[in-house]
Amino acid sequence: MQNNKVTLSFSIAIVLLWALPSMSTDIYLPSMPTMAEYFHVKLSTIQYTIFFYTVGFSVGALFFGPISDRIGRRPVIIGSMILAAITSLAAMLSTSLNILFIARLLQGVALVGVASTIRAVTKDVCPDKESMARFGAVLGIAIPIAAAIAPVIGGYIEKYFNWRISFAFILAYIVIFLVYTFKSLHETNHNRLERPLKYMLMDYKEVIFNGTFFRYNSLTAFALCAMYSYLTISPYLLQVKVGLSPEEFGYTNLLISVMLITASLINSKVIFRYGVDHMLRLGAILLGCSGVLFLISGLLGIHTLVTILVPMLIMVLGCGFIYPNASAGGLSLFSKSAGTAGAVYACIQMLGGSAGSGFISFMSHYIDPMTSLGGLIILQSLVGVIFTKQLISRNQSFID
């Protein structure tokens, strides 16, 4: 790729690299019940492997953005993937739950180096926030396909092998794209920051105290909080309560792919007509609708395939509108510090995922998970609608 032109091969590579962090979690979801048996713990304890991953992902984000702003995106992606390969190997060979927790924590740190830097790459190659949103939406058509394939693969791995092979699969995936990155991924950051790294706190201050960026970032954190909350309890809901087999459970994640593709197609068609902020408001409203359905089913104790999957699909559709538009709106506010903005964005976003996963894992010990999930999503939706109203008013005033 030359002069930051978006080629087909570049887009495919970005899609597959961006899908890697979510695949590292989705692929072993079908194995969670047997992992609990292997380590002699409750399923809710195994769910903390997602929590530790998201904590590592959120904290690690703060280190990679300022570095990529100064030395370039390519070396950060390569270094992150090397660390990801090492931690995936450690997870695969884990003999105790504590080792697995540490491996997942460090794996999160490594893979955020890929995710946050790839987000900055999209800023490098797109001229405005609408183009970024369209690019993100188009990429989003393929990303959920890759992410949805992971639990299907994981389901068959669990059926014919064991959970360790899921981490071996991720290791092989990383090695393949590490080779590709060395050979074919060109540098996209040609407008680097000249300030020394010691001014990193100044860069972060500029981003963090931007109120508009905070609102965009919060919206995507709400969406990821809802998504990770559902993913954390989905093995319990669908395998334990409904009784699906590991491979059947894996196929339910294809529905997530379908809805994210649907959202991406709709978003790419209407983004220039309605704008980023109005699409974000629609996403927040859809989250609220799904939360109401989850809450009602949980309170009534109705755990069926329909009462679980229908609100999940509405939730995912809302998330599909939020992800590309919030990212585009937030990162479009910065030019030379896009890497720092991407790092803060990834950190806050994954803190939302961490909060959701940790909250649901904790509350599962005390009350019905669907009730907790519904209440959490409703609260986030209400705040999200308020934020989108403020964004619409602000941008309208700016235009006027």
- Three-class SS string for 193-217? CCCCHHHHHHHHHHHHCCHHHHHHH
CB 104 within 8 A of CB 52: yes
Q: What is the pLDDT of residue 1?
A: 44
Give dist(CA 124, CA 339) in Å, integer. 10
**Cα 17 to chain center, whole Å?**
13
Question: Residue 199 belongs to what H/E stretch?
Answer: none
**Mean pLDDT per 10-residue section of the chain, whose length is 400 residues:** 58 77 87 93 89 87 77 87 95 94 94 81 70 65 70 91 94 90 77 67 81 92 92 90 89 84 84 87 96 96 94 94 87 72 79 86 86 95 94 68
Q: What is the pLDDT of residue 66?
A: 74
Dihedral angle at the C-alpha atoms of 147, 20, 322, 227, nearest 10 degrees?
A: 60
Q: What is the pLDDT of residue 72?
A: 83
The size of the chain, in residues, is 400
CB 158 within 8 A of CB 282: no
CB 162 within 8 A of CB 246: no
Give dist(CA 179, CA 15) in Å, integer. 16
Give dist(CA 239, CA 235) in Å, integer. 5
Residue type, 385: V
The closest alpha carbon to 110, from 61, 147, 150, 70, belongs to 61
Give dist(CA 166, CA 187) in Å, integer. 31
CB 57 within 8 A of CB 112: yes
Q: What is the pLDDT of residue 194?
A: 67
CA torsion sign for 149, 153, 158, 164 is: negative
Give dist(CA 190, CA 13) in Å, integer. 20
Q: What is the pLDDT of residue 2?
A: 43
Q: What is the pLDDT of residue 270?
A: 86
Here the tokens at position 20 are: 């890697």
- Domain limits, the chain: 8-185+197-399
Architecture of the domain spanning 8-185+197-399: Up-down Bundle (1.20)
Q: What is the pLDDT of residue 195?
A: 66
CB 279 within 8 A of CB 267: yes
Q: What is the pLDDT of residue 365?
A: 79
Give dist(CA 301, CA 54) in Å, integer. 29
CB 243 within 8 A of CB 123: no
Here the tokens at position 196 are: 């020394």
Here the tokens at position 198 are: 């010691």
Does residue 192 sit in helix, strand or coil?
coil
